[in-house]
Amino acid sequence: MHNPSKIIEGGVEYSLGRFDGKSVQYDFPKILVYLNAKGKLLFGEKFKIYKKDQDILLKLCSYFIKDKENCKKFDIDLDKGLLLTGPVGCGKTSLIKLLHFLVPHQRKYVVMPCRNIVFAFNHLGYKTIEDYGESNFFCFDDMGVEPMGRHYGKDCNVIGEILLSRYDLFLETKLKTHATTNLNAEELEERYGNRVRSRMRELFNLIAFDKKAGDKRV
């Protein structure tokens, strides 16, 4: 029988906690050991889990492992997606790419840079909005700094339109959306407008890095 509390990476078995046959009692320090090892495999030896990020990681891990008690404490709604915010280089994209490996039995999302989606729109037009807005499980990376879309001379706020479609999809099917951004709430509203901003409140749990979180890429 498969034991979901154990994951094998690079020939090494990692324990994430205890499995009683029905559910896993996760152990946060063990999760951090696993994430550190998996991160190095994915992103290279320079990757590491920083002590100062452990508070935000506890929130993120609680969400992914569906720890109802912690999620209640942190005011996280398990039915919504995640909007992970923080300054440039604080590690948002790496973490969002890493965390779904914790729960290999759950449905995976595809991490897509928003600027790539806009470039696709510029070539293919409104079909791109359908492709990203009406199905599948996505994490939109680096939201809010992508250029304006332009197809046959017409401007389009591509990601804003996709978010409106994702909101309708969420109401119909409960399919979640995740995203990362460097922008704060006011900047997002300026970028996408009030209507999209109010939909975002219903689509996402906001999880924010400290504004002073340093750039880990230097």
Quick: pLDDT tens for 65-123: 999 999 999 999 999 999 999 988 788 999 999 999 999 889 999 999 999 999 999 99
Tokens of 93: 């994209």
pLDDT of res. 216 = 55
Q: What is the pLDDT of residues 118-156, one digit of tens each?
A: 999 999 999 999 999 999 999 999 999 999 999 988 999
pTM flag (> 0.85): yes
Q: CA-CA distance, 119 to 207, in Å (whole number)?
A: 28
pLDDT of res. 57 = 95
Tokens of 36: 């550190």
Band of pLDDT at residue 192, cut at 50, 70 and 90: very high
What is the set of domains in the chain, with CATH numbers?
79-208 (3.40.50.300)
Residue 34 clears pLDDT 70, i.e. is over it: yes
Q: What is the CA radius of gyration of the chain?
A: 18
Q: Give the phi and the psi of residue 110 in degrees, each rounded to 5.
A: -100, 125
Residues 104 and 65 sit within 8 Å (Cβ to Cβ): no
Residue 27 clears pLDDT 50, i.e. is over it: yes
pLDDT of res. 88 = 84
